[in-house]
Structure 1
Amino acid sequence: MNITHELATRIVESQPTATARERARAGLLDFIAVTLPVLRGETADSGLAALQSVCFARDSQTRALLLGYAGHALDFDDFHPDFRGHPGTVILPALLAFAGEHPCTPDAFLDACVTGVETAGRLGLAAGQRHYQQGFHNTATLGTLAAAAAMARLSGASVIQTEILLGIAATQASGLRAQFGSAVKPLHAGLAAQAAVFATKLALAGFDGQRQGVIDGFLAACCAGSDPDRLVAQWGAPWRIEVPGLEFKPYATCSGTHSAADAARQLRERWLASHASSHPLAEAVVRIEVAFPPGGDIAAAIRQPANGIEARFSLEYVIASCLLYDGVALEDVAEGPVNPEIAALAARVERCPDPSAPPDEHDPSARFHEVRLFFADGQSSGSRVTRQQSLSKPVDLVKKLQSCLAGASVAERQHIVALCELRTQDALSGLIKLLDERLRPLH
């Protein structure tokens, strides 16, 4: 099988359903909710300022770079379990930047988004779990190809152009997990979106490239034990944006911490049911243990965060924050020093991988976290929450936007929500204009 040809054909011929388009609308609202606070300066982020000082938003490639960075800067953006990464923050910046230069219908935009997520999910299945475990950041590597697929669909590229386009994208795909906890992690998303736009423009301009063997070569080189056939088998049946679907984050932290956060919140609620306030809880706890499948903390690997950005990837910090404050505030995982009260309690957390559980790499969807508190009086209290239990609680995206854009008026937030619905041509152009106003070059 010529896997590049088969994939290109499916991308070009994709016909997403109305339900799939609705999921894409939800993904767009989530992306805007977490991107605008960074672009508007409501959440401090020196990385964007540095980027804008050297990358002027005068073309779609640079706008894709800046939007991708801003969308992933808070680590609050969507997640896809098959992809094991964040598809929205690479796909949508590329599409929005390109659509600003090449106007399209809202349906064409949404279909491209669905196609990109389909490719993202299938790339994750084809690559397998080893790609991430080897140290690659899927959002950066596989995300470059997913965004390129979305771009091929939106731009109307032919099958041959799409084959070349995918190959150009694959040869640019890169990104390492070693950069987690720094501004380079969201830069990965921006670079992936930029590379997708660049690959599309080159292919449409007639630039030559290998039409086969590049996707296979990428998987063979970077994904031990990959299965390329999973890229195209049962394409769109169902659409990956529907099943297993996009996951929207309730916390601005690594998704690998979320069931631990929920377990900690349950313990806090249990404590408050029999005590006057949460403060004695911190005083009474002498030790905290968190259990999970072996390897289940591969993404949340930072034990003693030096700053708020690193804290997003710390099981200890997230558990302590939820015990103290019933959640994770954006300001406690933003640039700058960690919250000292959270850090003090986090120092009492011990990681205790459960050897009786199957390794996380076998089935990340079966992940769980069991948090147990040990008190000075010898008593203990524990709570176990699975990843699926955490996901069963839907995230209200309108409320998420409201919490992220606290500085915006009610009318302004309502206007943004209406734009993200993409019910009219004016809505898409209005949304692009809203973003572009925040991406104007500084010089």
Structure 2
Amino acid sequence: MPIDHTHASGLTSWVASANAPGCDFPIQNLPLGIFSIAGGTPRGGVAIGDQVLDIGLAMAHGLLRGAAAEAASGPSLRPLMAMGRAASAELRHNVSALLAASAPPRPELLHPQSAIRMHLPGEVRNFSDFMASYDHCARLGAARDPKNPLPPAFHHLPVAYHSRASSVRPSGTNVRRPWGQYFKDGEIVFAPTGTMDFELELGIWIAGENEQGEPTPISLADQRLFGFCLLNDWSVRDIQRYEMPPLGPFLGKSLHTSVSPWVITAEALAPFATALPPRQAGAPQCPPHLTSGRPDGLRIHMQAALQTPAMAGPHVITSAPFENMYWTPAQMVAHHTSNGCNLLPGDLLGSGTVSGPAEGGEACIAELLLRGPIQLPNGESRRYLEDGDTIIFTGQAHAPGATPIGFGECRGTILPAHKA
């Protein structure tokens, strides 16, 4: 992920809101998404400050040209994802030049973000979820089996399972409390869950395609990383605990997955690349086929906030660093395809719960409860999420000398279970 003039910290835009300190979407970011206005046809756009650049409108005015812009202008980003990283880099350069302060202002190409509706970047055909945080696995594993807290394969490969693609939804979509089977008072019941949880994760959108039977080697895996988002792997702990042996999560995970709608491209994150932290003393070395020798980690600070119906505003309950993850997105791609599995353009990967080592870095309620119920500033407490509770994820990439860039929000509110 090369750093170039589009990342320059002194670069500003003629869109004034993009130059505000702490803005999620400065000109150094330029995330891609699919939006619509007042029930109109979904189409491609670029977030800039509190506005959206309409790619199709810019093309109609002759200000954007080429196959990459055409691929990003329609109702799905999958055509652009299929073209690969060179196409998204080309589009980034062209949009940066159009929005830079040195270019003539063209406000007629913009729509206020407050006036649009965001959609998924494209139909999600496949969704795989990883478990790549040492601290998450060790914390919950020690509560279950202190002598063997980690899965046997954890040090050797990024552990994952195939999750449900059809229930991925954009931020803001409400989450219905599910019914399910679980242990309660010594018997198995079929009832609404009492243990709704969140999992703070990074989502990874896939670029390009490998033929079935042809792995993507670690040396090329970064070229399969189109972009990133925030991802909430909503989890139903009582159902999950009962159903997991021996095949793993099913109905406890498939009810709903929320993603932030703006795709932060891999090109935008180039200044925030970092090396993985060293492995623990005595831990096995990373296998050669998953060792790249590049700084494939990312400096991203992620937060989860909880707002109950009785609260005036959200309260941050988790603050976790993505750079502490044990496995990188490139390693996830290399492992996923190592058996010849064909990853498709627009496939979605979840990083797994992004828990950090420090107190307050527990990235799900199941971990937070190891220290006791969550105490909120208005005097309320929570063991698990209740009806009407809202979870809000935010994230910001940061590095010395670089302009920080954000991800926008990933939020969801719990609705009551169906009556019958």
TM-score, length basis structure 1: 0.30
Between structures 1 and 2, the one with greater helix share:
1
Between structures 1 and 2, the one with greater strand share:
2
TM-score, length basis structure 2: 0.31
